[in-house]
């Protein structure tokens, strides 16, 4: 890797598990030397690839396990459990006559334009939902105490059916969770072998569906996530790693493994969020503030916007077929990845994805038994792959195997093998184009002001083609694009999100409650950081979900806590009016305002990291050799460059291929390339680009 091997030095390690590879990014603290690695995942034995990676880092880099001072881990165990529906059997206890809350949801169909769409099958079957006599009013007063005899009947029936855990979710528990706590305690007393989660414990927010479904997602993955994390702790201890594992969260921050075993829902999108955090850090280092990220792995392409140097956050991200209502980095995904399978349907139309070959058997060109054409096979047929070993020498691309499976589709289409491969890539790019259009329409941004940053194993292969299709003139390829998500864990902060529903009109009468809630949230945030082991000064950010009286939904507005403390109602109102105008191009300065929720973000800044940089010396780059590439409908001889040979200041032009250990960068015609002081590649398309 970079520089000479330094044995017995302190290291920080970031790890991210994807669908095909587990990625490692390790930083030697004293010298700033960075080592990276990819290891094929082992779906049948999760965690085995972690041992393999640590052993390879020790062998190749001199990394001593006992010198690891920080270990950050992102995993797809939770989200894969939901997507594959391999979670545990659950029971739900709720109010009598409200047993259908998760089925009714928000009365929206999954696809409003389809007459044939259907609601997803719920994670808790209807016979395992128990309504009991219990009722609390919206003001927190109790009108019907929980019927503990009905609870006992529910526990008895559910145990006989083989459930492993209970979810408790009652009306208005956002106001007061004592009824949920009482029933949860009774379930624990009657069935101590079962786990119990309540909605007010997991995410105490107004609206019963959002609160209930969030708690269900948490319980559904709990045993698998907790078991995986326990095994992770054991593995690290057995390897002699003293650092306690930290976990990447959906909100782009970190938490410790002990919390992760209970707050499982907070890490469902950890991998995708960590990638955006890593990309934002790299972008700031390179002086880029407006970025569209493109993370392509084996099964999906993920897009996110970085605006003014910061990732964007939101709620309502989709996990499989279910919405997630906790704060998370805003990411849009589509089922197009390097392993996405291409096929010809019954109408003779070529289609790509969403099914993927994954890591087992993987694309045919990997030589691991794959028999269906994938996006990666199409890249190999077109000549972008196959000139060097990939994945740090673990794989050798077999172009003939790729040609064989793509050739089967070519026969059905009546095209040449190269034309078929190019069509597969065109379809993949077109599918991503549609998703990007949706994203920028929602965000209201002009991508001509942005740079595209592709990463992941497949991002650099297709990223420049997507930029050219969209009309983006600039692309920035990081030095190690294949391990950006693992890097994200290294540079992430501790970050906890806390919420309290207040449901008050913005008025002097509400100031007492607003002040009391703000103080409580700040205390909770500080206590959480202390539990995570943070000892420095915290950063606390306050915001509120606000709306005009009569509106059904609210927008999040950043607040200054001093406004609440000092009773500056006009400042709070002005912030809301400004935010509403930015979102809807409309505001009503005389309209009455409601504050629905107060939110607090508690951040414990992570360690300051800086990668080595060098002075740029302008010089033409020299290719290793020319290789034949099928691009834009013709075979052309293009330069093949080795990434490690490209020094800061080097320049060259596309079309070109840049090979490196973690991925391959495909550069289409019309792009000029420059290497910056951090070894990032900057692609710029000429003025003749069709926008």
Q: Do 652 and 585 belong together in one domain?
A: no
DSSP 105: T
Do residues 577 and 634 both lie within one domain?
A: no
pLDDT tier at 623, thresholds 50, 70, 90: very high
| Strands, E assignment, 225-266 | 245-248, 254-256
Q: Give a yes or no: residue 68 inside a domain.
A: no
Secondary structure letter of residue 221 according to DSSP: H
Q: C-alpha distances in angstroms, 620 versus 478, 644, 676?
A: 20, 15, 13
Distance CA 248, CA 484 (A): 13
Distance CA 470, CA 449 (A): 12
Is residue 238 in some structural domain? no
Token pair of 176, please? 């007061």
State phi, psi for 121 to the nearest 5 degrees.
-65, 130
Residue 91 has pLDDT above 80, yes or no: yes
Q: List, for residues 267-284, the tens digit of each pLDDT value.
A: 888 888 999 999 999 999
Res. 517: pLDDT tops 80: yes
Please check whether residues 557 and 640 belong to one and the same domain: no
Residue 154 · residue 132 · CB < 8 Å:
yes
**pLDDT at 75 (0 to 100):** 80
582 and 664 inside one domain: no
Contact between residue 195 and residue 206 where contact means Cβ atoms under 8 Å apart:
no
Place of tokens 């998760």: 102
Span 291-302, average pLDDT: 90
Residue 239 contacts residue 54 (beta carbons within 8 Å): yes
Most confidently modeled of 70-74, 427-431, 443-447? 427-431
The domain boundary, picked from 542, 569, 604, lies at 604
**Cα–Cα dist 225/691, whole Å:** 46
Can you tell me the distance from the alpha carbon of 252 to that of 313, in angstroms, rounded to the nearest whole number? Answer: 9
Percent of the chain with pLDDT over 70: 96
* 596 in the same domain as 631: no
Contacts of residue 530, defined as CB under 8 A and 6 or more positions apart, other chains included, come to none
Which CATH number covers residue 178? 3.40.50
The strand pairing partners of 629, in sequence order, are: 636
pLDDT(396) > 80: yes
Reported confidence tier of residue 52, pLDDT bands at 50, 70, 90: confident
Mean pLDDT, residues 423-449: 91
Q: Which residue, 543, 571, 604, sits at the end of a domain?
A: 604
CA-to-CA dists, residue 458 to 261, 299, 336, 483, 557, angstroms = 31, 10, 10, 11, 36
Q: What is the mean pLDDT of residues 651-669?
A: 95
> What is the mean pLDDT of the segment spanning 88-103?
95
- In degrees, rounded to 5, the angle at the alpha carbon of residue 104 between the alpha carbons of residues 136 and 505 is 50
For the chain, the average pLDDT equals: 90
- Over range 441-453, report the average pLDDT: 90
CA angle 359, 365, 370 (to 5 degrees): 55
- For the chain, percent of residues with pLDDT exceeding 90: 67
Nearest to 682 by CA among 638, 649, 655, 660: 649
Secondary structure (3-state) at 618: coil
Domain that holds residue 515: 494-604
**H or E element at residue 196:** strand 195-198
Given this model, what pLDDT does residue 193 score?
Answer: 96
**Is residue 13 one of the residues assigned to a domain?**
no
pLDDT tens string 572-618:
999 999 999 988 889 999 999 999 999 999 999 987 777 778 888 99
* pLDDT score of 84 more than 80: no
**Location of structure tokens 């790693």:** 241
Q: What is the pLDDT of residue 44?
A: 66
Q: What is the mean pLDDT of residues 642-657?
A: 95
User: Residue 575 is encoded by which pair of tokens?
Assistant: 């912030």
3-state secondary structure 285-341: HCCCCCEEEEEECCCCEEEEEEECCEECEECCEEECCEEECCCEECCEEECCCCCEE
Are 519 and 643 in a shared domain?
Answer: no
Q: CATH code at 590?
A: 3.30.1490
Whether residue 407 lies inside any domain: the answer is: no
> Is 359 domain-assigned?
no
**Strand 11-17 to 21-28 pairing:** antiparallel
What per-residue confidence (pLDDT) applies to 228? Answer: 86
User: Quick check: 5 pLDDT over 60?
Assistant: no
Q: Determine the pLDDT at residue 356.
A: 86
pLDDT of residue 32: 78
Averaging pLDDT over each range in 105-119, 314-328, 481-495, which range is the top one? 481-495
- Regarding whether 632 and 527 lie in a shared domain, the answer is no
The residues pairing with 306 across neighbouring beta strands, listed in sequence order, are 291, 311
**Token pair 């994670």 in the structure block, residue:** 123
Which pLDDT value is given to residue 535? 87
In a shared domain, residues 586 and 643: no
Phi, psi of 289 (to 5 degrees): -115, -20
Report how far residue 249's alpha carbon sits from residue 272's, in angstroms, rounded to the nearest whole number. Answer: 9
Residue 309: pLDDT over 90: yes
Strands 619-620 and 650-653: parallel
What is the arrangement of strands in the sheet containing 634-642, beginning at the earlier edge strand? Answer: 625-631, 634-642, 656-659, 664-667
Number of domains in the chain: 3
How far is Cα 452 from Cα 431, in angstroms, rounded to an integer?
Answer: 17
Domain boundary among 604, 634, 666: 604
Q: Partners of 667 in the beta sheet?
A: 656
Longest CA–CA separation in the chain, Å: 81
Tell which phi-psi region holds residue 640, choosing left (phi > 0), alpha (psi between -120 and 50) or beta.
beta
Domain membership of residue 438 (yes or no) is no
User: If you average pLDDT over residues 382-392, what whole number do you get?
Assistant: 89
Specify whether 528 is located in the same domain as 565: yes
- Clarify whether residues 589 and 653 are in a common domain: no
Q: Is residue 516 part of a domain?
A: yes
Q: Sorting pLDDT into bands at 50, 70 and 90, what band is 687? A: low
Span 85-107, average pLDDT: 91
197-227 residue pLDDT tens: 999 999 998 889 999 999 999 999 999 899 8
Domain membership of residue 540 (yes or no) is: yes
- Secondary structure of residue 544 in the 3-state scheme: strand
Q: What are phi and psi of 39, to 5 degrees?
A: -130, 135
182 or 48: which leads in pLDDT: 182
Model confidence, pTM: 0.88
Task: Indicate the SS3 state at residue 444.
Answer: coil
Give yes or no: residues 654 and 597 share one domain.
Answer: no
N- to C-terminal Cα separation, the chain:
40
Whether residues 218 and 113 fall in one domain:
yes
């Amino acid at each position: 890797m970079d520089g000479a091997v330094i044995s017995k030095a302190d290291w920080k390690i970031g790890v991210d598990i994807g669908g095909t590879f587990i990625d490692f990014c390790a930083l030697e603290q004293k010298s700033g030397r960075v080592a990276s690695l990819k290891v094929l995942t082992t779906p049948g034995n999760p965690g085995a690839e972690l041992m393999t990676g640590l052993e390879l880092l020790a062998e190749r880099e001199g990394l001593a396990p006992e010198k690891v001072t920080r270990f950050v881990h992102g995993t797809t165990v939770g989200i894969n459990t939901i997507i594959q529906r391999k979670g545990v059997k659950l029971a739900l206890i709720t109010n009598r006559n409200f047993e259908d809350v998760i089925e009714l949801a928000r009365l929206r169909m999954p696809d409003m334009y389809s007459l044939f769409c259907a609601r997803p099958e719920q994670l808790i079957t209807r016979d395992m939902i128990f309504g009991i006599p219990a009722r609390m009013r919206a003001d927190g007063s109790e009108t019907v105490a929980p019927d503990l005899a009905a609870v006992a009947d529910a526990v008895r029936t559910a145990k006989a059916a083989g459930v492993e855990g209970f979810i408790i979710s009652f009306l208005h528990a956002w106001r007061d969770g004592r009824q949920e706590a009482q029933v949860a305690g009774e379930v624990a007393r009657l069935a101590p072998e079962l786990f119990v989660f309540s909605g007010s414990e997991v995410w105490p927010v107004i609206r019963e569906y959002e609160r209930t479904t969030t708690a269900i997602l948490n319980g559904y993955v709990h045993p698998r996530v907790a078991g995986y994390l326990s095994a992770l702790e054991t593995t690290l201890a057995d390897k002699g790693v003293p650092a306690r594992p930290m976990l990447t969260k959906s909100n782009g921050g970190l938490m410790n493994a002990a919390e992760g075993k209970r707050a499982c829902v907070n890490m469902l999108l950890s991998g995708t969020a960590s990638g955006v955090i890593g990309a934002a850090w790299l972008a700031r280092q390179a002086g880029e503030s407006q970025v569209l990220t493109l993370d392509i792995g084996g099964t999906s392409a993920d897009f996110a916007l970085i605006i003014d140097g910061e990732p964007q956050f939101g709620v309502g991200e989709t996990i499989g077929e279910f919405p997630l209502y906790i704060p998370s980095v805003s990411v849009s995904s589509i089922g197009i990845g390097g392993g996405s399978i291409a096929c010809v349907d019954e109408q003779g139309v070529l289609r790509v994805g969403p099914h993927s070959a994954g890591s087992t058997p993987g694309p045919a060109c990997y030589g691991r038994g794959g028999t269906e054409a994938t996006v990666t096979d199409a890249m190999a047929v077109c000549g972008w792959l196959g000139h060097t070993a990939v994945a740090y020498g673990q794989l050798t691309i077999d172009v003939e195997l790729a040609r064989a499976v793509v050739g089967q589709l070519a026969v059905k289409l009546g095209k040449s093998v190269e034309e078929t491969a190019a069509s597969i890539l065109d379809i993949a790019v077109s599918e991503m184009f549609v998703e990007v259009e949706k994203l920028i329409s929602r965000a209201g941004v002009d991508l001509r002001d942005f740079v595209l940053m592709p990463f992941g194993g497949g991002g650099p292969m297709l990223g420049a083609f997507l930029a050219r299709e969209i009309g983006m003139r600039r692309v920035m390829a990081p030095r190690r694009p294949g391990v950006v998500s693992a890097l994200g864990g290294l540079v992430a902060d501790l970050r906890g999100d806390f919420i309290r529903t207040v449901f008050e009109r913005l008025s002097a009468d509400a100031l007492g409650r607003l002040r009391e809630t703000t103080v409580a949230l700040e205390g909770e945030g500080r206590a959480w950081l202390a539990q995570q082991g943070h000892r420095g000064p915290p950063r606390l950010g306050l915001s509120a979900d606000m709306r005009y009286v009569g509106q059904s939904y609210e927008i999040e507005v950043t607040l200054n806590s001093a406004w609440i403390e000092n009773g500056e109602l006009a400042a709070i109102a002005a912030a809301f009016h400004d935010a509403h105008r930015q979102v809807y191009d409309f505001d009503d300065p005389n309209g009455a305002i409601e504050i629905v929720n107060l939110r607090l973000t508690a951040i414990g800044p992570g360690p300051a990291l800086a990668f080595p940089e060098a002075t740029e010396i302008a010089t033409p780059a020299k290719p290793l050799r020319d290789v034949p590439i099928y691009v834009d409908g013709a075979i052309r001889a293009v330069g093949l460059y080795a990434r490690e040979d490209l020094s800061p200041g080097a320049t060259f032009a596309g079309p070109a291929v840049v090979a490196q250990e973690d991925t391959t960068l495909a550069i289409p015609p019309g792009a000029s390339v420059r290497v910056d002081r951090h070894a990032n590649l900057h692609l710029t398309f000429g003025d003749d680009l069709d926008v």
